[in-house]
Amino acid sequence: MNRIAGRAAITVLLTLLLIAGFSFFVAEYVTKANDWVLFTGSPHIYNGTNIGTGTVIDREGVMLLDMEGERTYGESAAVRKSTLHWLGDRYGYISAPALSHYSAQLAGYDIVNGVYSYGQNTGVAKLSISAQVQTTALEALDGRKGTVAVYNYETGEILCAVTSPTYDPDNVPDIENDQSGAYDGVYVNRFTQSVFIPGSIFKIVTLAAALETVDDIQQQSFYCDGVYTIGADKITCEAAHGNQDLQQAFRNSCNTAFAQVALQVGAEKMEKYVEQFGVTKSVSFDGITTAEGNYEAVDAADANIAWSGIGQYNDQINPCAFLTFLGAIAKEGKGVEPHIVSQIFVGLSETYEADTVSGKRIMSAATAETVAEFMRSNVEYKYGDDNFPGLTVCAKTGTGEVGGDNKPNAMLAGFVTDPEYPLAFVVFVENGGYGASVCLPIASRVLEACKNVI
Ligand SMILES: [Zn+2]
């Protein structure tokens, strides 16, 4: 009896161990299978640095990349150049985080069948960008370094985000031995990974902060004789603008006035609102985290607080974060987050579809409306509506001084208010010169191209 009872006990124990072990395996499998199959060394999915399965198309179905094997890019050299930084290269110099992020969905991986599509149906990722608008934007940049981006502030779709310099992955130049500087920073996606000194487009931020905090700011008058003296420091202006109200000062992009506006808001509140507006924060979407900007005013001297309010001092912004900020102004103070991957299919099944993700309210609807009105008056009375036929555009130009003998960075930030074209846009041209003359023609061409694909 004792021996039988002993054996029964051992059997029960072994059974329990088996169940425990199996449960452990199932738990591990369920929680970690994605990592096991999709870890970046997996020959099933990855080819070097970038994902090695599936096809990528643009918003209109134009083939951009077949990721199998040696990678086959699209037919047009212009399209290849203008989309390279979203697709990644063959050698791991340029990664494609938005595609890698969806490797499971692209591989058709599911927990029951494993990588069931491997060798059968491969995934198709549809991006929200348009090859046509991408090439238009890159052509408009005309070899200058910078970035141009447009997104739909109602849906979050990025229609255009080009970065320059770039190159044709099917005809790779000798970047390593280039002495001309033409390829400086070529591996960087300037839209997501870089920061710029904003210059006067930052006056949008200071204006919004003032509208939220200084009750009588719109009743005040700002006098400009071309120089504003703070202690031993001088803030210079392009012209002697004379007496101006806030809207005129914004349209004149008057440094004297905006120095005073920033000082009235005060260092602490400037910092608080820059934070609240998300202007210097990273934006995260599709596995991408954008570069963080910078803003400092507390503990700075008054002259530096003044400079910080006009987009100089230690101000730095990332183009994608600023685009998202503009979208929130256009959408009455509460925007949507951008995205670039719209849909993924494997065979007939959809394995991913982008949602429109609302952000937090960053300013009151009344403030957003006034900022939009002021930006609208810039285009109507200064830049010219003839730049944007058929569109109602709100915008602010900027010229960011970068120091030394270098030409300033030229910038333009804005959005379209027509309900059929809910587009926010940014144009950054490094060492481009004067903001308006450089950036308006670029924005004009790119927005026109967007009309055909929205
Ligand atoms: Zn002035």
| Model pLDDT for residues 302-340, shown as the tens digit of each residue | 999 999 999 999 999 999 999 999 999 999 999 999 999
CA distance 122 to 95: 20
Q: Is 50 exceeded by the pLDDT of residue 180? A: yes
CA distance 148 to 160: 7
Task: Give exposure, 364-386, as e/b (b: 16+ Cβ within 10 Å).
Answer: eeebbebbbebbbebbeeebeee
Cα of 424 vs centre of ligand 1, distance in Å, is 28
What rounded mean pLDDT belongs to the chain?
91
Cα of 218 vs centre of ligand 1, distance in Å, is 17
pLDDT (average), residues 169-178: 96
Q: Is 80 exceeded by the pLDDT of residue 392? A: yes
CA distance 261 to 195: 25
Q: Is 70 exceeded by the pLDDT of residue 42? A: no
CA distance 41 to 45: 8
Confidence band (pLDDT; 50, 70, 90) for 51?
A: confident
- pLDDT at residue number 265: 98
- Using DSSP bridges, classify how beta strands 334-336 and 358-361 pair: parallel, antiparallel or unpaired: antiparallel
Cα of 402 vs centre of ligand 1, distance in Å, is 20
Cα of 248 vs centre of ligand 1, distance in Å, is 10
- pLDDT at residue number 404: 82
**Percentage of the residues of the chain whose pLDDT score is greater than 70:** 89
Report all structural domains of the chain as residue ranges with CATH numbers, in order of start.
46-141 (no CATH), 146-338+360-451 (3.40.710.10)
Cα of 220 vs centre of ligand 1, distance in Å, is 15
Nearest to 429 by CA among 247, 199, 154: 199
pLDDT (average), residues 414-430: 98
Cα of 366 vs centre of ligand 1, distance in Å, is 26
pLDDT (average), residues 438-452: 97
Cα of 271 vs centre of ligand 1, distance in Å, is 24
CA distance 401 to 398: 10
Confidence band (pLDDT; 50, 70, 90) for 49?
A: low
Confidence band (pLDDT; 50, 70, 90) for 118?
A: very low
Adjacent-strand bridge partners of 72: 66
Confidence band (pLDDT; 50, 70, 90) for 402?
A: confident
- pLDDT at residue number 41: 47
CA distance to 30, 272, 296, per residue, from 104 (Å): 14, 40, 41
Nearest to 346 by CA among 60, 43, 157, 126: 126
Q: Is 70 exceeded by the pLDDT of residue 221? A: yes
Cα of 252 vs centre of ligand 1, distance in Å, is 7
**Residues 450, 148: contact at Cβ < 8 Å?**
no
Per residue in 276-301, pLDDT tens? Answer: 999 999 999 999 999 999 999 999 99
CA distance 259 to 292: 24
Cα of 363 vs centre of ligand 1, distance in Å, is 27
113 versus 264: the higher-pLDDT residue is: 264
CA distance 252 to 258: 10
296 φ, ψ (degrees, to nearest 5): -135, 135
pLDDT (average), residues 34-46: 49
Confidence band (pLDDT; 50, 70, 90) for 50?
A: confident
Q: Is 80 exceeded by the pLDDT of residue 189? A: yes
Cα of 241 vs centre of ligand 1, distance in Å, is 5
